[in-house]
Chain A
Amino acid sequence: MTGTGGTAPATYSPSPTTHKNKASLFQQDWVRPDGRGFHQCRPAFFRTGAVNAASGSAYAEFGNTKVIVSVFGPRESKKAMMYSDIGRLNCNVSYTTFASPVRGQGSDHKEYTAMLHKALEGAIILESFPKTTVDVFALVLESGGSDLPVVISCASLALADAGIMMYDLVASVSVSCLSKNLVIDPVFEEENSQDGSLMITCMPSRYEITQLTVTGEWSTPKINEGMQLCLDACAKLAKIMRSCLKEAASDSQE
């Protein structure tokens, strides 16, 4: 785009897509951009073994949210760390610069690393790898909404692929509150105009919640409803994750 005589920097960015001024009028009968029902999750795609160099890895794609996670370890803890007779978990979540519509804007998600750590540490049997560290590195390739739940589910699949002992797979789903409606597995637009969000991470076979984050104002019956929705969705997600692992295992046997 040749603009004014060479003074403008040579980058082109498309005009910001749909700068709707928070269409709060439409939220009463909100139609989801991808045509899903309010209580319908996006179709999930998982594949393990995405990164050959890692001990275990997984790739997950939920609509427009694409995440890749690699697991390294158990490997020797840094010499500076104190002796520990249980293993250590080290997590990191980072965004690529092209993950969000505006370049480089994903950097305000520093708390995702701590949340991933909290979600996984309850599920991993740390006693099985004393003195060593397991590293989990997550990279969000494209952020299409509901990023952290996808990262957590993908990370637990990568840990299973790496052979790290766990009590159960960890599945995670979030629910957004748009005025009066509860919308499961929100997309980017829905997340930006949400009134509240509830994210649950659970171990479906044990029916235990490892992590729970709620923002916004919720009344008790709403929390009830949100939790039930999430737990049902997590159970179904866990089945998909299991079948992905079984396929990978049977492929490698051939």
Chain B
Amino acid sequence: MVGLSLGEQHFIQGGISQDLRCDGRKRLTFRPIHVETGVIPQANGSARVRMGATDVIASVKAELGKPSFLQPNKGKVSIHIDCSSTAEPAFEGRGGDELSSELSNALQSCLLGGKSGEGAGIDLSSLIVIEGKICWDLYIDGLVVSSDGNLLDALGAAIKAALSNTGIPRVQVAVGESSDDQPEVDVSDEEFLQFDTSGIPVIVTLTKVGRHYIVDATSEEESQMSSAISFSVNRQGHICGITKRGGAGMDPSIILDMVSVAKHVSEQLINKLDSEIASAEAEDQE
């Protein structure tokens, strides 16, 4: 990323404190979001989300597997993010590893809830085929194609869109056989079950620059941040996960204030995303 001169830094900080950002947005306004679904035909579900110059793709693949011993009535989900070197030359080889694992961890804690599986955005018990023996394993992969700030929000939106686009094949189980043999399953190629995504939270990142917070920061604005907190909020207004980036310390009252701002902003984002996803699905079907 090109370095910023002192004048440019002051311009960005001054603009933010006066509620006028470099591209004319207000502090709490998102960039226009474009969603396309079904971009990867071989995957069970996929989506591409563009927020300004940030471009990310998410794909969902479902495979049959064995449920975990500790939770025999739930399927498994694994989220992995890859920062491609097309986004930044610094991401080539091992360079993007740190950012990728930070994003993967943040998304996992936001979408998969606590250890007991409570509060998960994704309903894992709908992925079970035969309790204790066969379940669906969902592999969610995110790819950062172009990076202009706010990667976490874009990836969260892409995963939500990809999951609404996901079709889990219908499975026919052969009845009979003794109970400890591996039952025979017939995976249908034709019929699909749509995944229920109404409970999936969205992620809103609030970036603190000076004394104010902005939403949907570009990478120039992110270079001026003191810290950023990402909130994952679901439709009911409950917080499903919080991660803080940046080392600067923050007063607890500021964090609580950010919680209420995030909830307020997330309502608009959820509605916007849902309508975008619905229109993308409609286009996809034509």
Partner-contacting stretch, out of B16-24, B139-147, B246-254, B273-281:
B246-254
Q: Are B244 and A213 in contact (CB under 8 A)?
A: yes
Q: Are B118 and A110 in contact (CB under 8 A)?
A: no
Tell yes or no: B256 within 8 A of A by CB.
yes
Tell yes or no: A128 within 8 A of B by CB.
no
Partner-contacting stretch, out of A44-52, A53-61, A64-72, A215-223:
A215-223
Which chain B residue has the least Cβ–Cβ distance from A114? B102
Partner-contacting stretch, out of B54-62, B172-180, B235-243:
B235-243
**Chief secondary structure at chain A's binding surface:** mixed
Which chain A residue has the least Cβ–Cβ distance from B240? A217
- Of A22, A212, A217, the residue contacting B238 (CB under 8 A) is A217
Q: Are B101 and A214 in contact (CB under 8 A)?
A: no
- Of A111, A177, A206, A216, the residue contacting B249 (CB under 8 A) is A206
- Of A118, A191, A219, the residue contacting B115 (CB under 8 A) is A191
Which chain A residue has the least Cβ–Cβ distance from B227? A122
Per the 8 Å Cβ criterion, residues 93-151 of A in contact with B are 110-111, 114, 118, 120-123
Bound Cα distance from A22 to B109, whole angstroms: 21
How many chain-B residues does the 8 Å CB contact rule pick out?
A: 36
Q: Are B260 and A220 in contact (CB under 8 A)?
A: yes
Which chain B residue has the least Cβ–Cβ distance from A217? B119
Per the 8 Å Cβ criterion, residues 56-109 of B in contact with A are 70, 98, 101-102, 105, 109
Residues of A within 8 A of B (CB): 22, 110-111, 114, 118, 120-123, 167, 177, 191-197, 202-203, 206-220, 223-224, 227, 231
List 24 A-B residue pairs with CB atoms under 8 Å apart, sorted by A's residue number: A110-B101, A114-B101, A114-B102, A118-B244, A118-B247, A167-B249, A195-B116, A195-B118, A195-B119, A196-B113, A202-B249, A203-B249, A207-B252, A208-B250, A212-B255, A213-B242, A213-B243, A214-B109, A215-B109, A215-B241, A216-B113, A216-B240, A218-B119, A218-B238
